[in-house]
Amino acid sequence: MQQNSTGRKRPGRWRLAAIAGLATIAVAACGGGSGDGAAAPAAAPAGGGAVPDTSSLLAGVQKDAQLAATLPPTIAQAGKLTIGSNLQSAPNNFYAADGTTPIGYEVDLAKAVAAKLGVTVAYQDMAFGSLITSLQSGRVDMTMAAMNDTAERQKQIDFVDYFTSGITIMVKKGNPDGITGPDTLCGKAVAVVQGTSHQEFATEQSATCVQAGKGPITVTATDSDTQNQNQLRTGRVAAILNDLPSAVYISRTAGDGEFFEVVPGEPINGGPYGIGVNKTNTQLTEAVRGALQSLVADGTYATILDAWGVQQGAIAQVGVNGGS
């Protein structure tokens, strides 16, 4: 989950039933792309694991010479895109079991974009709060870390939007406290990660509860999703606020799906995630936008999201600075 300077937000248009269904979808692996560049349909992994094998799909992504020609010369000559991220947020971006290999649906999208542009990717793992300054200083070429594209951030960097998300409520399996939405958090303890949009929303919702004559929300802010999960499992909090992709992934995988569940409901404060690019590098912004739109058109984009079980966040048109 990303720190807010961060925060993720979910699209308010997602339907409850869709989210409930998403939480039960098994993660699928992808086959190789066909000769014409179309993505092959995803297939369930033999081991039924939570991490899909998308290697064949990614290997099938072909360089688009026209798009590659739009890259800034310095990046084309280097042959790689240096990406700043905060690799701790499954299924967005995290480390494989070896502790060194970045994986996640964002990582797969970044590799596919790079392949379209005829380059590779190199990751720099850093604190979320350092991403924008690292981009502005030229330490990295772009950022991809489940960062919300917001009007405030657009003053500092540009965004190529690639996904839509928002805040979701996660509870213990069976929902013993009967939480059905934000209004039912009144008078209860809720865990969030320090400095995120989730913490901001919980504080605002607590004030709303008090104004309505209900008990305030006791907001417990920790440093990680793992700490929050321990709080919820031991009954110290009644719910966790998290981004939809992370909440769905955790509920599906923690304790083999027996520990947590996502409360059905429209995501709160929905909005796009954006790939961050330096405002002075409009050439790279357009190259990345074009490559991602090509992946949307040929089906690779959808297949990657399907493999990771986050297809509800798919977009049809790749835009720049679409957040508000």
Boundary residue ending a domain (268, 288, 303): 268
Total domain count for the chain? 2
pLDDT at position 30: 27
Based on the domain organization, do 156 and 30 belong to the same domain? yes
Q: Hey, what are 19's tokens? A: 């989210």
Q: Is residue 320 one of the residues assigned to a domain?
A: no
Q: Is residue 123 one of the residues assigned to a domain?
A: yes
Q: Is residue 190 one of the residues assigned to a domain?
A: yes
Element of type H or E holding 30: strand 29-30
Q: Is residue 203 one of the residues assigned to a domain?
A: yes
Find all residues with CB under 8 Å of 1, minimum gap 6, and list them.
Answer: 8, 88, 89, 146, 193, 196, 198, 225, 242, 243, 246
Based on the domain organization, do 140 and 180 belong to the same domain? no
Q: Is residue 57 one of the residues assigned to a domain?
A: yes
CA distances from 162 to 1, 84, 111 (A): 17, 16, 14
Based on the domain organization, do 144 and 198 belong to the same domain? no
Based on the domain organization, do 147 and 160 belong to the same domain? yes
Per-residue pLDDT of the chain (324 residues), as tens digits, is: 444 434 443 333 333 333 333 333 332 222 222 223 333 333 333 233 479 999 999 999 999 999 999 999 999 999 999 999 999 888 999 999 999 999 999 999 999 999 999 999 999 999 888 999 999 999 999 999 999 899 999 999 999 999 999 999 999 999 999 999 999 999 999 999 887 889 999 999 999 999 999 999 999 999 888 899 999 999 999 999 998 888 988 998 899 999 999 998 778 988 999 999 999 999 999 999 999 999 999 999 999 999 998 888 899 999 999 998
- Given a contact cutoff of 8 angstroms between Cβ atoms, the answer to whether 31 and 42 are in contact is yes
Based on the domain organization, do 54 and 146 belong to the same domain? yes
Residue among 196, 208, 180, 275 nearest 243 (CA):
196
- Bridge partners, residue 277, by sequence: 142, 158
Based on the domain organization, do 50 and 176 belong to the same domain? no
Q: Is residue 7 one of the residues assigned to a domain?
A: no
Planar angle of CA 232, 262, 271, nearest 5 degrees? 110
CATH number at residue 300: 3.40.190.10
Based on the domain organization, do 188 and 45 belong to the same domain? no
Residue among 16, 24, 91 nearest 263 (CA):
16
Based on the domain organization, do 36 and 124 belong to the same domain? yes
Based on the domain organization, do 56 and 192 belong to the same domain? no
Give the structural domain span for 181.
166-268
Based on the domain organization, do 36 and 146 belong to the same domain? yes
pLDDT at position 109: 98
Based on the domain organization, do 181 and 248 belong to the same domain? yes
Based on the domain organization, do 193 and 219 belong to the same domain? yes
pLDDT at position 47: 30
Q: Is residue 260 one of the residues assigned to a domain?
A: yes
Q: Is residue 41 one of the residues assigned to a domain?
A: yes
The secondary structure of residue 143, as a DSSP letter, is E
pLDDT at position 45: 30
**139-149: buried (b, 16+ CB within 10 Å) or exposed (e) per residue?**
ebbbbbbbbbb
As to burial, measured by CB atoms within 10 angstroms (0-12 exposed, 13-18 middle, 19+ buried), residue 310 is buried
